[in-house]
Amino acid sequence: MRFLSGNEAIARGAYEAGVKLAAAYPGTPSTEILEALATYDGIHAQWSPNEKVALDVAFGAALGGVRAMAAMKHVGLNVAADSLFTISYTGSTAGLVVISADDPAMHSSQNEQDNRHYARAAKVPMLEPADSQEAKDFVLEAFRISEEFDTPVLLRTTTRISHGKSVVRLGKPVSAAPRHFERDTRKYVMIPGHARPRHVVVEERLERLREFSNRSPLNRVEMGDPSIGIIAAGVAYQYARDARPDAWLLRLGMSYPLPDELIRDFASRVKRLYVIEELDPFLETEIAAMGIKVRGKPPAMQLGELDAGAVAAALGGRSPRTQPVADLPGRPPVLCPGCPHSGVFHVLRKLKAVVAGDIGCYTLSVLPPLECMDTCVCMGASVGHASGLERAFAVAGDERPVVAALGDSTFVHAGITPLIDVVYNQGCTTVIILDNRTTAMTGRQNHPATGRTARGEETHELDLEALCRACGVDDVAVADPYDLGALEQTLKRAISARHPSVVITRRECVLLTRGARRIPARVIEDACVACGLCLSLGCPALGGTPTGPKGRLKPVVAVELCAGCGLCAQICRHEAIVMERI
């Protein structure tokens, strides 16, 4: 027995299922799955440049005859969807499981997306565990289903399942002998003439899966007071169980295709039928389409996460006992003390640039006091946004400079192709690659440009400068984001050029160098005029005290937080901040 998070349990389940290859791109709340998988012997676990590549690699391994898994957060499945929809047609030689970790309430995401719709749209089965034990067990069951029905299986979690912990009973790894790949072009080469008959196979498979769902122990009835019946899946089941332990409950472990006969039988045995589910009314719509009278949640509950209290209010049940939350002071989201990105955005604000941004910790630059990001939609979109903005500004006579800013990991994920587009279509966009040598936002994972694998082993390091030149960008510069004067000159020159340019600002993430010796900043009280310029940097190590003229704020350095980057000393016009030991 072990106390595991849902993500750790999924990794354990893959190990016990005999998985030989797992691929992923880091994204909250799914990141820890591959990190845990990388600790098991006998599994090739890799970070891929993006989710589509991860799924394609996993599919290739499954096609070759070994069980394989791809893991991603919910928006990552959008990237991989093109592959998923056709892999649904082909099936694979050995089992293939795709993990989708959804993020209700958008704790670390740009949208609130319900990926149960993907199961229905791609016509593949979906399993939804309700705790860590099920997260492990369902992985084994998913591989069994995948191989029995020749289909990829989606296993969906949500944040509370991914990060919540519970006791898990461990098992021994099963012996999943490699299968032999047989050449079958009518099954694996999806030209239209081959895809049409495969669509028929998919529809027939869906009906067999529905029959399986009706008899599967993944879906079970828990008997109680028949005056109220509840249908729920995933973490919503736990909330419903807490709120109405007395009710009859149909707990769905397989949420697509639905067990229609089981649901009809359940509905006929209860007086009132409710569906409890997070995000979209997916189950409610499917059940109502069967002609069954069912009560779903009010529209307002389609936003954000459910909790036991909200479910209790909806069902008239008991509210759970909870521990009072300590009255902690608020902490606005800001970049880390000494973050090399702070200097870049300080300079861009000084240049009055319109900044097309991207997904990463640097997106926090949109907030005060930096307030230096104008767009952010999805991975890699910044380059296309900047290109479009420039062309529109040229038409409108708007002379503001435009740049795209994205991280090194994000550039590798989805920034290369739009850069090729800029060059091909004779644009003149300036792309800033904020190279901090890691995927910082999700917990400092490696990627192809760090020269390290998921296990931390040395590997080929992608040369970003050479890559950009290979895309057709002749003007590639590398700048130190801690040297503000040189950085400003480099950016000015790149922005004014009438051709595509790339500026790579390179400094390691401060979280990678926390143990390094540093000299903290020191404020010279007599020299400080409380102009507030240093505070506009937004460094958490700089606080303000109203001791300046007319109560203006003078900076105070939190020595225990200061990373010694020297940015505040550089922007001070009165030499009131110095880098020296007290």
pLDDT, one tens digit per residue, over 75-86 is 999 999 999 999
Q: Is the pLDDT assigned to residue 215 strictly greater than 80?
A: yes
Q: Name the DSSP letter for residue 413.
A: I
Q: What pLDDT is recorded for position 98? A: 98
pLDDT-derived band at 329, boundaries 50, 70, 90:
confident
Q: What pLDDT is recorded for position 581? A: 61
What separation, in Å, do the N-terminal and C-terminal C-alpha atoms of the chain show? 52
Mean pLDDT confidence for 369-398: 95
Mean pLDDT confidence for 124-140: 98
From residue 461, alpha-carbon distances to 5, 449, 565, 572 in Å are 32, 5, 26, 37
- Three-state secondary structure call for residue 115: coil
Q: What pLDDT is recorded for position 221? A: 97
Q: What pLDDT is recorded for position 310? A: 85
pLDDT-derived band at 17, boundaries 50, 70, 90:
very high
Cβ contact 113:72 at 8 Å = no
Mean residue pLDDT across the chain: 94
Q: Is the pLDDT assigned to residue 328 strictly greater than 80?
A: no
- Strands in 234-301 per DSSP E: 247-252, 254-256, 272-276
Least confident window among 312-321, 327-336, 393-402: 312-321
Q: What pLDDT is recorded for position 177? A: 86
- pLDDT above 70 covers a percentage of the chain that reads 97
Q: Is the pLDDT assigned to residue 582 strictly greater than 60?
A: no
CA nearest neighbour of 232 among 262, 127, 138, 241: 241
CA nearest neighbour of 505 among 405, 383, 367: 405
Instruction: Please enumerate in sequence order all residues whose Cβ is within 8 A of that of 580, keeping only pairs 6 or more positions apart, or say none.
Output: 519, 522
pLDDT-derived band at 317, boundaries 50, 70, 90:
low
CA nearest neighbour of 375 among 576, 189, 110, 554: 110
Q: Name the DSSP letter for residue 366.
A: G
341 phi, psi to nearest 5 deg: -70, -25
pLDDT in tens, 153-199: 999 999 999 999 999 999 999 988 889 999 999 999 999 999 999 99
Q: What pLDDT is recorded for position 550? A: 87
pLDDT-derived band at 300, boundaries 50, 70, 90:
low
Q: Is the pLDDT assigned to residue 568 strictly greater than 80?
A: yes
pLDDT-derived band at 303, boundaries 50, 70, 90:
confident
